[in-house]
Amino acid sequence: MRALVKTHAGPGLELVDVPEPSPGAAEVKIRVLRAGLCGTDLHIEAWDDWSASMLRPPLVVGHEFYGEIVEIGSGVPRHGGQYDLRVGMRVSAEGHVICGVCRNCRAGRQHMCVQTSNLGVNRDGAFADYVCVPHTNVWVQPDDIDPELGAVFDPLGNAVHTALSFPMSGDDVLVTGAGPIGVMAVAIARHIGARYVVATDISDVRLELARAAGADRVVNVARERIAPVQAELGMAEGFDVALEMSGFPTAMSELIANCTHGAKIAMLGLPKEPFAIDWGPVITRMLTIKGIYGREMYDTWYRMTFMLQTSEVLRERIRSVITHRFPADRWGDAFATARSGECGKVIMDWS
């Protein structure tokens, strides 16, 4: 089968023929139809310090995908009911494979598993014709979730996990960083009833995506500041909730400066290196800062599925984040487009 492989330690990937996988015990085999490009994949292709510390080539990369079950491995439970997995089902998958025995796993906090193995990082991933995953990681998709929408469930889950970390109905929300996940977070904030949603970035292309997803105001922080926009919208005291999706120190600094007393801050954006924070305002304004990673397994999956099922508007806003589509054999163009930053979500067609 075709697979996009990190064949050796160093920059680059190769589209090569590799043996077709067979599902192990308690696994299912899935024919990949669509796959989404993630920033993680760009790091792996470039072979930065993080990639060198995490990967052991050769490895099939990729973790965001939608496909069709083609084989059920031994040991996959059969309950004789609606929860049985069957050949032909259309599915996405949670990319974090947990150990099941650490304290967090046993306490129902699987997304905090201390021994997580990541699809496309620690085990063969989904940039291939077929991928095998544990049956517990499979998410069966309803008929109203098409392949492209199903392929972005992993990053959508990040956005939903971040946006639902704090109540925001009727609140003023700031989203710093209008990458694909930030834009999805804008759509979620709008869907769940925020009063005003403001998005920031340094890319006009991405800010227009945020506007289309429901932002009341977008701010290019290379040219203007957040405070005047806050005043323009009539926020006398500042934002109630902030979602930091960029990982940039300057974004965090300006975010804190524009939050009201008692504001809640959810941080998903990973900084490239440590940076200082002025803790004075955090303490005296009694701000709450919460780190976010991945998706809550599997509460986030239920919530994002149900929200999409109940709103055609939300489905279209999430789908609008997808700006570029490439066949798998043009993976180089797909990576170049994603690396440019002047795009939304990039999807590869493996069908």
Catalytic residues: 40, 43
DSSP secondary structure of 135-200? GGGEEEPPTTS-HHHHHTHHHHHHHHHHHTTS--TTSEEEEE--SHHHHHHHHHHHHTT-SEEEEE
CB distance 68 to 30 below 8 Å? yes
* CA distance linking residue 216 with residue 210, whole number of Å: 9
Nearest Cα to 297, choosing from 144, 95, 130? 95
Handedness of CA 128, 134, 135, 140 (dihedral sign): negative
Distances, alpha carbon 3 to alpha carbons 11, 132, 152, in Å: 17, 13, 20
* C-alpha neighbours within 13 Å on the C-beta side of residue 300: 25
For the chain, how many helices (H) and strands (E)? Answer: 13, 18
Handedness of CA 123, 50, 62, 46 (dihedral sign): negative
Which residues have C-beta within 8 Å of that of residue 262, sequence separation ≥ 6?
Answer: 285, 286, 287, 288
CB distance 29 to 21 below 8 Å? yes
* CA distance linking residue 127 with residue 80, whole number of Å: 32
Buried b (16+ CB within 10 A) or exposed e, 97-119: bbeeebebbeeeebbbbeebebb
- Amino acid, single-letter form, for residue 18: V
- 142: its two tokens: 């309803």
Nearest Cα to 7, choosing from 59, 84, 73? 59
Q: Which DSSP symbol is given to 26?
A: T
